[in-house]
Amino acid sequence: MADRLSKIAVVIPCYNEEEALPVTAEHLLALLDKMTEQQLIAPDSYILCANDGSRDDTWGTIVRLHDRDNRVKGISLAHNRGHQNALLAGLMSAMDNCDAAISIDADLQDDPEAIVEMVKLFNRGTDIVYGVRSSRHTDTWFKRTTAHAFYKFQQLMGLETVYDHADYRLMSNRALHMLSQYGESNLFLRGIIPQIGLPTAIVTYARNHRVAGESKYPLSKMLSFSIDGITSFSARPMRWIFMTGLILLFVDIAVALYVLGSYFFEQHISPGWTSIMLSVWFLGSLILMSIGIVGEYIGKIFIEVKKRPRYAIAETLLD
Ligand code: UDP
Ligand code: MG
């Protein structure tokens, strides 16, 4: 990397961002200028806006920005496919035309200055640099608490993610190519990228308010995002069904002893109570365990149909 300056692509997913984009583009272009001057990046580094089927004039805004400065480039999806898909489309479009791509939201809530540090780390050979929020004081209490609960729950479900890292990160060309091998349609980048496993680093920054417009991530979208994240990575919930059934089977033994004890030694037992109690507990645990076993098989199918790459070769020395 030393003999040649690295070409950087800043990829921005945009959904209804006509208000924020001009401010964001101006800010990022100034940053690219500054970094070019400091000989950190190649002068043909650029910004790639991925319009996610916006209903406002986001695409027109991108076209005007491109006319003014052709370092602003764009792609436009035919339909709103959601943040993760728009981001992937942008990254894949940039993949063959950059040494590293940085993904950032259109609202500049993530401090763009962190890009400088990310690029320095990349130039020293780090493939993936995660932007991590040092504080979330500008988020509402509600957003902060729900987001943290989400991270905790993911960990509990056996999902490997970086704490307080959203989708603000740098990926080297090599990492992008590895990402392109993941064929799943249920995309959760934050879960996939740690699995790639190349040299990684973290850059911390303070999170700001949106520059313009309002959040496109209401609670309903966050919730479905988190459910997607867990269910596309973990078959653990199914194992839990089986475990619950197994635990209930042991409880069942205790209940059976109690019920039979009552039957033989107590005077005022209603007729039928003993047999109903015994069958309800026994059958309940049996049913749960059976569902769990079926779930284990579905879990295997679920992992297999993804056809994820089974390994990623980081370096070769074959000649
Ligand atoms: N976004 C997108 N498609 C969507 C929703 C959002 O491309 O369906 C983009 C949006 O334009 C922004 C980024 O995803 O660049 C993050 O969205 P937002 O800032 O609204 O989320 P928050 O920061 O409130 O979680
Ligand atoms: Mg935002």
- pLDDT score, position 3: 67
Ligand 1 binding pocket includes 82 (Cβ within 6 Å): yes
pLDDT tens-digit readout, 145-158: 888 888 888 888 87
DSSP β-bridge partners for residue 2: none
Model pLDDT, residue 1? 46
Q: What is the pLDDT of residue 316?
A: 66
- Give helix 219-231 / helix 141-156 axis angle, nearest 10°: 10
Torsion of the alpha carbons at 115, 117, 119 and 121, rounded to the nearest 10:
-150
- With a cut of 60, say whether residue 2 has pLDDT above it: no
Atom of ligand 1 nearest to the CA of 109: 23
Say if residues 102 and 170 touch (Cβ distance below 8 Å): yes
- For residues 68-88, average pLDDT: 93
- How confident is the model over 164-216, as pLDDT tens digits? 898 999 999 999 999 999 888 778 898 899 988 899 999 999 888 888 888 88
Mean of the pLDDT values across residues 264-287?
90
* Cβ(241)–Cβ(292) below 8 Å: yes
pLDDT in tens, 228-260: 888 888 888 888 999 999 999 999 999 999 999
Tally of residues, the chain: 319
Query: Across residues 278-303, what is the average pLDDT?
Result: 91
Please, where are the H alpha helices in the chain?
20-37, 58-68, 83-94, 114-123, 141-156, 173-179, 189-196, 219-231, 236-265, 273-305
Task: Find out whether 206 and 136 touch, Cβ atoms under 8 Å.
Answer: no
* Mean pLDDT score, 267-288: 90
Q: What is the mean pLDDT of residues 89-117?
A: 95
What atom of ligand 1 comes closest to residue 222's alpha carbon?
25
The atom of ligand 1 lying closest to the CA of 214 is 20
pTM: 0.82
Specify the pLDDT at position 4: 86
Q: Find out whether the beta carbon of 76 lies less than 6 Å from any atom of ligand 1.
A: no
Q: Is the CB of 146 under 6 A from ligand 1?
A: no
Instruction: Please say whether the beta carbons of 110 and 166 come within 8 A.
Output: yes
On average, the pLDDT of the chain sits at: 90
**Atom 2 of ligand 1: nearest residue by CA position:** 83
Residue 313, CA distances (Å) to 101, 178, 181, 277, 317 in order: 20, 9, 12, 58, 11
